[in-house]
Chain A
Amino acid sequence: MATLLDKTQQSNRSSPKWITHIVVPLFNLFVALMIAGIVIYFNGDDPIEALLLLIKGAFGNDEFIGFTLYYTTNFIFTGLAVSIAFHCGLFNIGGEGQAYIGGLGVGLVAIYLGHLSPFFVIPLCILAAVIFGASWALIPAYLQAKRGSHIVITTIMFNFLAAAVMTYLMVEVLIEPGQQAPQSREFNNNSWLPFMHEIFNFFGIQISVSSLNFSFIIAIISSLLIWLFIWRTHWGYEIRTTGANQKAAIYAGISPSKNIILAMVISGGLAGMVGINEIIGVHHRLILDFPAGFGFVGIAVALMGRNHPLGIFFAALLFGALYQGGAELSFDIPNITRDTMVFIQGLVILFSGAMEFVFKPYIENIYFFIKNNLLRS
């Protein structure tokens, strides 16, 4: 009497972790790509070829891999940022603005102190990214914790404020004198983070030039630290308690407002670190619009990565590959424009984020069907 495709069976049943953490996400990704493929087909191109070009464009050679990992770096930062707020039950939509202001902090240090020793100025830049990003998250956090203003609304508003502040500063204050373009002068190269190809070169290994820089390593270290913080310290425990059950937190003497502020400050600091990758990692000057939507994609990355640093790494890698592979794909098939890529990313977000659990019960039913019927009979 057990029906194979019956949604009502979803509750009260635990399927093994590998189903939820590996099979379901992969299946969601597969469905998203299938639909994208159908659209590409009707658009007059060969979807298989497009997929192969996409993969090749993302991982085909060391240069492509470099760019993929460069994008991945940004997504790790913003994904971690969204996830830590999420652990506290907060939806931080403000990664974009926090990244922007984080970059401002990096830029200010690099502009005014860039002539000092790299061993001094680079750590200072990183610190500035964290402090500036964190302070941009602090105000919405305070308003949420003490005044109950909804964090989603305030962080969105702060994205606009960040853009306005940056445009003003770039146009009026930090613009390179005698220049039309609203960007700062190029920093002293003491403040430049080494590129990966330079680091490899130092050890005598030749790899292709790409935007990948030392920030990637910072991102990996941050992931590890965040993992330890969230799951292994009592601060992380208190943040998670606040997020999972605020009543229980109050019962246990854990102050929700304190933890809301703490989680948001860390979240903002992580988002601010996008500024490291972009400003002293690649552009070596302050420019407009460098967050380019990375903060928003971070939401999808965190969702897909189930707010776990390891999951976030893989989700960030996926989106990095979509960005880089997608760019290469547009080169090879001009018919597939950047809008097509946005569409494909949207599908991935839709199926692995918003529609996360649509297929899960079916997959579980198939699993239990196989298990119950083939293993027991």
Chain B
Amino acid sequence: MRIFLTTITAAISFFTLISIANSADHKFVPALVFDMGGKFDKSFNQAAYEGAEKFKKDSGINYKEFEVTAPTQREQAIRNMAKRGANVVIAMGFAQAAAVEKAAKEFPNTKFAIIDMVVDLPNVRSVVFREHEGSFLVGMAAAMASKSGKVGFIGGMDIPLIRNFAAGYVEGAKYANPNIEVFQNMTGTTPAAWNNPGKGAELAKSQFGRGADVVYAAAGGTGVGVYQAAVDEGKLAIGVDSNQNYLHPGTMLTSMLKRVDVAVYNAMKDAKDGNWSSGIISLGVAENGVGWALDQYNRKLISAEMEEKINQARKDIISGKIKVKGYQSN
């Protein structure tokens, strides 16, 4: 009898929970505003898209999305999302900061999140990554894998964010081998630089020609060309943002992971579960927000010694023994 009662109570409370959860689901609307790169940029925005898709799969909750085509649309889109009842609006990229700031003031009851930038308001979560730390680790990997003593970096658009990647990479390479020579190129000065695989391949080939044998691309879709050039020339390449090791097993040395997807997923999940926190979230190697990728695709390229040294450096960064400066120490 007791068991029966317990079962009934449990069953009732279970169904009640579900119905509560369901009604909550109907109300909860997360929204995601991509920046001008577009959601399929094979990089930053796409990582956000993947995080949102994962949230959708896990929770069964659909999200609203918008791709910005002109700077003005940022504010328009973010306000629009808030006006249409989104509970949390996630804005991708530093360029949306001003828009988030305006909208957050206008809609104090809506939660906002911005990735890669800080907006200091009580209802805004700002997620920034310490890309330089992750780049430091792959810089070490590059320097150790290089036989020529020369490695390369190919950035997308020449902006401080990408310079931060470059700076960390150089620091890491020099840490592993103080005599290393690092070539640096930026693909361009317009947003087209994020999606120019042809030019990426050209730049990579020119760096290979100057003697580099490992090239790190932090250039969105442009990277695809860099990786292909590495395959063509039998050299090594390093991926960025998501784990791109699987693209060309054998020539992809590793990937610098920047877990934008996790940040987006967490922002949606936290808002839904009531675990929301505003303020700055800075994600570095300690928080597993950035890191390096080791899996079955690049296992053979990473020697035990390399792995050990990189992991040691990782620990040292966490402990504060190594300080990675990056482009602008802020």
Binding site for B on A (CB under 8 A): 67, 70, 160, 163-164, 166-168, 171, 175, 178-183, 186, 211, 278, 282-283, 285, 287-290, 292-294, 323, 327-328, 330-331, 334, 337-338, 341-342
What are the residues of chain B within 8 A of A183 when measuring CB–CB? 95, 98
Looking across the interface, which residue of chain A has its beta carbon closest to that of B192?
Answer: A163
Looking across the interface, which residue of chain A has its beta carbon closest to that of B71?
Answer: A290
Binds A, one of B18-26, B60-68, B141-149, B306-314: B60-68
Which residue of A178, A181, A323 is within 8 Å of B94 (Cβ)?
Answer: A181
Say whether B84 faces chain A, with CB atoms less than 8 Å apart.
yes
B158 touches A330 (CB 8 A): no
A171 touches B84 (CB 8 A): no
B290 to chain A, nearest CB (A): 15
- Count: A-B pairs, CB below 8 Å: 95
Chain B: interface residue total (CB-CB under 8 A): 37
Task: Tell me, in angstroms, the Cα distance from A160 to B159 when the chains sit together.
Answer: 16
Looking across the interface, which residue of chain B has its beta carbon closest to that of A186?
Answer: B98
7 extra A-B contacts, CB within 8 A, seeds A182-B159, A292-B70: A167-B159, A178-B328, A180-B330, A181-B97, A182-B160, A287-B98, A289-B36
Instruction: Given A67-B76, A180-B328, A338-B38, check contact A323 B70 (CB 8 Å).
Output: yes
Binding site for A on B (CB under 8 A): 36, 38, 64-73, 75-77, 80, 84, 94-95, 97-98, 116-117, 128, 157-161, 163-164, 188-191, 328, 330
Task: Tell me, in angstroms, the Cα distance from A211 to B80 when the chains sit together.
Answer: 13
Task: Tell me, in angstroms, the Cα distance from A341 to B72 when the chains sit together.
Answer: 17
B294 to chain A, nearest CB (A): 29
A-B contact pairs, 5 of them (CB 8 A): A163-B189, A168-B158, A168-B189, A181-B160, A338-B38
B117 to chain A, nearest CB (A): 6
Task: Tell me, in angstroms, the Cα distance from A167 to B191 when the chains sit together.
Answer: 10
A341 to chain B, nearest CB (A): 8
Task: Tell me, in angstroms, the Cα distance from A181 to B161 when the chains sit together.
Answer: 8
What are the residues of chain B within 8 A of A166 when measuring CB–CB? 189
Task: Tell me, in angstroms, the Cα distance from A48 to B116 when the chains sit together.
Answer: 40
Which residue of A168, A175, A211, A334 is within 8 Å of B76 (Cβ)?
Answer: A211
What are the residues of chain B within 8 A of A294 when measuring CB–CB? 70
What are the residues of chain B within 8 A of A163 when measuring CB–CB? 188-190
What are the residues of chain B within 8 A of A175 when measuring CB–CB? 160
A334 touches B65 (CB 8 A): yes
User: By CB atoms of chain B within 10 A, which of A178, A183, A292, A323 has the most?
Assistant: A292
What are the residues of chain B within 8 A of A341 when measuring CB–CB? 69
Task: Tell me, in angstroms, the Cα distance from A38 to B173 when the chains sit together.
Answer: 55
B326 to chain A, nearest CB (A): 10
User: By CB atoms of chain A within 10 A, which of B116, B160, B161 has the most?
Assistant: B160
Task: Tell me, in angstroms, the Cα distance from A331 to B77 when the chains sit together.
Answer: 9
A327 touches B77 (CB 8 A): yes
Instruction: Given A330-B67, A331-B84, A334-B65, check contact A278 B95 (CB 8 Å).
Output: no
B103 to chain A, nearest CB (A): 11
Which residue of B71, B76, B158 is within 8 Å of A167 (Cβ)?
Answer: B158
A337 to chain B, nearest CB (A): 6
B73 touches A327 (CB 8 A): yes
Task: Tell me, in angstroms, the Cα distance from A211 to B102 when the chains sit together.
Answer: 13
Task: Tell me, in angstroms, the Cα distance from A285 to B74 when the chains sit together.
Answer: 15
A137 to chain B, nearest CB (A): 19
B190 touches A287 (CB 8 A): no
What are the residues of chain B within 8 A of A331 when measuring CB–CB? 64, 66, 77, 80, 84
What are the residues of chain A within 8 A of B157 when measuring CB–CB? 167
A287 touches B67 (CB 8 A): no
Looking across the interface, which residue of chain A has its beta carbon closest to that of B73?
Answer: A327
Looking across the interface, which residue of chain A has its beta carbon closest to that of B328?
Answer: A180
B203 to chain A, nearest CB (A): 16
What are the residues of chain A within 8 A of B69 when measuring CB–CB? 292-293, 323, 327, 338, 341-342
Looking across the interface, which residue of chain B has its beta carbon closest to that of A163?
Answer: B190
What are the residues of chain A within 8 A of B76 when measuring CB–CB? 67, 211, 327
What are the residues of chain B within 8 A of A182 when measuring CB–CB? 159-160
A289 touches B190 (CB 8 A): yes
A288 touches B330 (CB 8 A): no
A282 touches B98 (CB 8 A): no
User: By CB atoms of chain B within 10 A, which of A182, A287, A293 has the most?
Assistant: A182
What are the residues of chain A within 8 A of B97 when measuring CB–CB? 181
B162 to chain A, nearest CB (A): 10
User: By CB atoms of chain A within 10 A, which of B72, B77, B328 has the most?
Assistant: B72
A167 touches B66 (CB 8 A): no
Which residue of A164, A168, A287, A330 is within 8 Å of B71 (Cβ)?
Answer: A287
B257 to chain A, nearest CB (A): 20
Task: Tell me, in angstroms, the Cα distance from A175 to B94 when the chains sit together.
Answer: 13
What are the residues of chain B within 8 A of A178 when measuring CB–CB? 328, 330
Task: Tell me, in angstroms, the Cα distance from A341 to B73 when the chains sit together.
Answer: 14
B97 to chain A, nearest CB (A): 6
B72 touches A180 (CB 8 A): no
Task: Tell me, in angstroms, the Cα distance from A341 to B70 when the chains sit together.
Answer: 13
Instruction: Given A182-B159, A327-B77, check contact A289 B98 (CB 8 Å).
Output: no
Looking across the interface, which residue of chain A has its beta carbon closest to that of B84?
Answer: A331
B72 to chain A, nearest CB (A): 5
